[in-house]
Amino acid sequence: MSKSKMIPKFKVISFGNGGTNMINRIIETTDNKDIGYISISTSRAELGYSNANSKLLIGENVAKGLGCFADASIAEKAVNESKKEIMEFLQKELKDTDIVFIVVGLGGGCGMGATPLITNMIRKMGIVTIGVVTTPFSFEGKKRAEQAKKGKEKISKNVDLLINLNNDDVLYRKEVKRSIVQAFKDVDDSVRQSVQEMINTLLSYNLEDLSYDYLKEFIQEKLYNQ
């Protein structure tokens, strides 16, 4: 008798402004109704335009609900301030979840400061984490590029697989001329496509187990070179 197919449960979590735009694009274009969506931010305004079905505002005292203003240290303080609330939120929202996709645009404050810390919490819960991050356009300046590099290094240590999408690769595709606004939209869509392709790949296999160790080894073998 063949074993029944084991289907993992997915959640997508966004951090900060860039992540909110990305998660909105994923929600708008996916047909998979079984995926759960979560937005975490220090900004009430960002959470207000997020279409995620679950949202969490962190660091109300340190950030006043206004965001981090590209300061990663504020986001780190926000996580420390709201650590208990974050853990309770994650335990509730990620119950029975097997794989979490983290979507974030690097270079700003919340994405860089909060993402590594909260992602580490998720991994300690025994949930496989896949980071899908974008690095800034070159016109955004050297400072944001340097911040993004540091943020990517920190996040890479706290996820089981990291997918890095370079914004300039979208902007400077020779075959298409696009405005800056359109380029940002195309970046969001490239994240959407990356997440959807990985989910489709995972669903196409007959998984034998949904344990952390099995899924971690599986995604690192099957998704790393996608």
Q: Which domains does the chain have, with CATH numbers?
A: 10-222 (3.40.50.1440)
Q: HSE (CB half, 13 Å, CA atoms) of 167?
A: 25
Handedness of CA 138, 114, 59, 72 (dihedral sign): negative
Q: What is the pLDDT of residue 168?
A: 75
50-85: pLDDT as tens digits: 999 999 999 999 999 999 988 999 999 999 999 999
pLDDT band at residue 224 under the 50/70/90 scheme: low
CA–CA distance, 104 with 127 (Å, rounded to integer): 18
One-character DSSP codes across 12-47: EEEEHHHHHHHHHHHHHH---TT-EEEEEESBHHHH
Q: Torsion angle of alpha carbons 214, 215, 217, 221, nearest 10°?
A: 130
Q: What is the DSSP letter of 207?
A: B
**Cβ 184 vs Cβ 18: under 8 Å:** no
Residue 24 to residue 14: CA distance in whole angstroms: 9
Question: Is 112 within 8 Å of 148 (Cβ atoms)?
Answer: yes
* pTM (predicted TM-score): 0.91
